Amino acid sequence: MRNLFGGGQGAGTSRGADSSRLPRHSSGWKELQKHLKSRESLRILDIGPTSSTNINYVTSLGHSIYMANLVEEAAKPEWIIPGEAGEEAKYDVDRFLAANLNFSGRNFDVVILWDTADYLPEALVEPLFTRLHEVIEPGGLMLAFFHATTDAATVFCRYHLTDTEVVEMQKAANYPVLHIYSNRKIETLLRDFSTYRFFLAKDSLREVIITR
């Protein structure tokens, strides 16, 4: 992806993030948008930096929306358990999930994951998909993006929904991409779901529509 967002501050901060938005055609969003427009009173979980545009758009369709910025939260050092006697430090997965993916019994009809999985510590990725499988209603949908390649110009983005086939990408912070998943690995992460469909794209992002 070309670096059209300008410069930024240190890793993990949104200060100084460019306010410009880059439009990107999204076949996955096109399909999900049809679903949102054909149904009423859905519960949507948007996993990414908070976007007032997304909140306003989803609620204008008569749905409710809940936000969770897992990448920012996962980067905090408080989740690291120091190793003892030469052992490696570990990530406190259970405590992270309890604090950030506990929805008090609430389930969702749609989850928009964006490219969150690419930015999370490895220990969190499989537990994330397991948890999402638990909280998505049977027959519910999830839209996920995965980076096929990355370079120094790749940036962590806030994604804004539009009433077209376009999503707008806006630089949000300088978190590094931690994973590049093959299609086979993505399929492994989605093994508990009913079906999934990959969409080809002209840039470095792969899109997947997943059915619970």
Model pLDDT for residues 127-138, shown as the tens digit of each residue: 999 999 999 999
Q: How confident is the model at residue 203 (pLDDT cuts 50, 70, 90)?
A: confident
Q: How confident is the model at residue 83 (pLDDT cuts 50, 70, 90)?
A: confident
SS3 assignment, position 147: strand
Spacing of C-alpha 107 from chain mean position: 17
Residues 139 and 211 sit within 8 Å (Cβ to Cβ):
yes
Taking the chain, what is the end-to-end CA distance rounded to the nearest angstrom? 30
Res 166: pLDDT: 97
Q: How confident is the model at residue 86 (pLDDT cuts 50, 70, 90)?
A: confident
Res 9 pLDDT > 60: no
Q: Model-level pTM?
A: 0.88
Alpha helices in the chain (DSSP H): 27-37, 52-60, 70-74, 93-100, 122-135, 183-189
Nearest to 8 by CA among 154, 121, 147: 154
Residues 206 and 148 sit within 8 Å (Cβ to Cβ):
yes
The mean pLDDT of 14-36, rounded to a whole number, is 85
Alpha-carbon Rg for the chain in angstroms: 17
Structure-block tokens of residue 81: 């358990």
Nearest to 175 by CA among 118, 122, 92: 118
- Cα distance between residue 122 and residue 119, in whole Å: 9
Res 115 pLDDT > 90: yes
- Cα distance between residue 158 and residue 51, in whole Å: 7
Res 152 pLDDT > 90: no
Nearest to 115 by CA among 141, 140, 147: 147
The mean pLDDT of 106-112, rounded to a whole number, is 97
> In order of start, what are the domains of the chain with their CATH numbers?
22-211 (3.40.50.150)
SS3 assignment, position 56: helix
Q: Which residues contact 23 (CB under 8 A, 6 or more apart)?
A: 162, 166, 167, 168, 169
Q: How confident is the model at residue 182 (pLDDT cuts 50, 70, 90)?
A: very high
Res 212: pLDDT: 97
